[in-house]
Amino acid sequence: MNRRLLVTLLGASCLAAAVFFSRGLDVQLRWHANDAQAIDLFGSKEEAPAATPDAKPFWTESTGGAALADIPNHSSFADLAEKVSPSVVSIRTSKTVTGGGGPNGMRIPPQLEPFFGGPGSPFEDFGGGQEYQVPSLGSGFVVSTDGYIVTNNHVVEDVDKIEVAFKDGSTLPAEIIGRDPATDIGLIKVKGEKPLTALPFGDSKKLRPGDWVIAIGNPFGLEHTVTAGIVSALHRRNIGAGRYEDFIQTDAAINPGNSGGPLVNLAGEVVGINTAINPRANTIGFAVPIEMAKDILPSLKTSGVVTRGWLGVVIQQITPDLKDALKLENTQGALISRVDPKGPAQKAGIQRGDVIVRFAGQTINEMEELPRRVAATTPGTKTDVTVVRAGKEKSFQIEVGKLDEGQQVARAEEHGEEEGPMVFGLRVQDLGPELAEQLGVAGEEGVVITEVENGSPAAEAGLRRGDVILEVNQTAVANVAEFRNAMHTQEKALLLVRRGEATLFVAVKKKAEK
């Protein structure tokens, strides 16, 4: 008896350790939790709004109704929740999974299946290697009386069956109409005998930090859970939840199972789609702005996919040092570090070193705005683009191209023979044909960095060994001699650097004399 107990405890300990050390898993653990989880922002990374085809809105636009709750004069959100809840649904999905199993259907982490999931495994008798259905839960909301429902892409991605449950207890099967992994928006449809109650769309552009909002959804299977909070911040980006991030941050509680549910203002209008959470906090949630959904839902309804615009440039943020080096008035805009030779921008006359300050009549204040605005432009549209070149504004008309899979609309980059003396804290050599081929920059002329002094201006600017310097102050340098001549009288310099497939501008200041 004691021995059997010891074996059982040992097996349970192995499973616990396996789950603990495999917390980086995504799909497997997500399904094991039986919830379509909001994205873990500190896990794996993924892919702006998209082009809007000529299609009429199929959702209900708000007529500007009065607020259904008034804080602090009233202390209840009950009227608001009661009005909104009939349009919020629970989405139940199932997926066929094959692989090793554990006790009570527990999934064994994939990297441990060779040890625990094969023949002779202690869990072989628990269904290892067999196919079985794994359920998952998410949320959504009705957007049209004829059965269209919006949710998150990750709620319905790669599932075999979808069932929608309404507040009155009725259920209906659903089919996927369209999905967009880039924005994590999905559109499904049910066929009912009577019209459904749709939630009107509000205007997320009018939101301000501090505005009251409520979230309704299905966290951990607890249907129609209502939580309240405020808009904590707007335009949250670079949080690792997609390529075109522009999230609403809220402290209204969002948990696994809330994915796809609505974020609603006090007028009962949808202003966001609850999508992501910070797993280290219970008051940091993120919602896709409803304006982004308005851009892509017509495409999802008519074609099932999203068609995005493409400009064909690589861009980077303008730092204060780059602003000074380029003699710009401010750090607004998107600096072009590379132009695709086959792209629309090249054909229109856009050049490397140009700073895009307006696109389609809209000012580009931050670099991250440009990819979203380009993506939202219908391919084939002729669009006015204004750039700053050599201190002066120039305007171009560009026919926006179509973004193919694997391309990026306007991509943002992350930051030879005899060695010469240290300049700006770096040493360079000529870039010969053989070395250029080794570095993957065949056909380029320049100098390659062979050493970067610790703590030097070059190191502080982010330059690395192996970087290829193509230009100094927007003048090409073909060898070490030209590089020295271009640098020796400069107190600061603007370098164009090739790093692998990336090309970027770097501003450096001259190393101080000791």
Which fold, 426-509? Pdz3 Domain (2.30.42)
Note the pLDDT of residue 128. Answer: 52
Tell me the C-alpha distance between 443 and 356, whole Å.
Answer: 27
Among 121, 139, 204, 259, the one annotated catalytic: 259
Closest CA to 294 of 49, 84, 47: 49
pLDDT band at 37 (very low <50, low <70, confident <90, very high): very low
Among 180, 184, 246, 354, the one annotated catalytic: 184
Does residue 395 have an active-site annotation?
no
**What percentage of the chain has pLDDT greater than the value 70?**
74
pLDDT band at 399 (very low <50, low <70, confident <90, very high): very high
Note the pLDDT of residue 490. Answer: 76
Note the pLDDT of residue 39. Answer: 47
* Cα→Cα distances 252→109, 152, 203, 217, 238, Å: 32, 18, 19, 12, 21
Note the pLDDT of residue 211. Answer: 95
Note the pLDDT of residue 319. Answer: 85
Among 35, 90, 144, 154, the one annotated catalytic: 154
- Give the dihedral sign, CA 116/117/119/121: positive
Domain ranges of the chain: 35-91+139-307, 309-412, 426-509
CATH classification of 35-91+139-307, choosing from 3.40.50.620, 3.40.50.300, 3.60.20.10, 2.40.10.120? 2.40.10.120
Q: Does the pLDDT at position 468 exceed 80?
A: yes
Average pLDDT, the chain: 80
Note the pLDDT of residue 106. Answer: 54
pLDDT band at 206 (very low <50, low <70, confident <90, very high): very high
What are the tens digits of pLDDT across the range 259-284? 999 999 999 999 999 998 887 777 89
Does residue 235 have an active-site annotation?
no
Note the pLDDT of residue 493. Answer: 85
pLDDT band at 5 (very low <50, low <70, confident <90, very high): very low
Note the pLDDT of residue 40. Answer: 44
Instruction: List the structure tokens of 455.
Output: 């703590």
pLDDT band at 513 (very low <50, low <70, confident <90, very high): low
Which fold, 309-412? Pdz3 Domain (2.30.42)
Closest CA to 91 of 134, 31, 152, 132: 152
Q: Do domains 309-412 and 426-509 have the same CATH topology?
A: yes
* Cα→Cα distances 471→340, 388, 464, Å: 18, 19, 16
Average pLDDT, stretch 122-144?
Answer: 76
Does residue 74 have an active-site annotation?
no
Q: Characterize the bridge pairing of strands 285-289 and 270-277.
A: antiparallel
pLDDT higher at 475 or 146: 146
Note the pLDDT of residue 125. Answer: 52
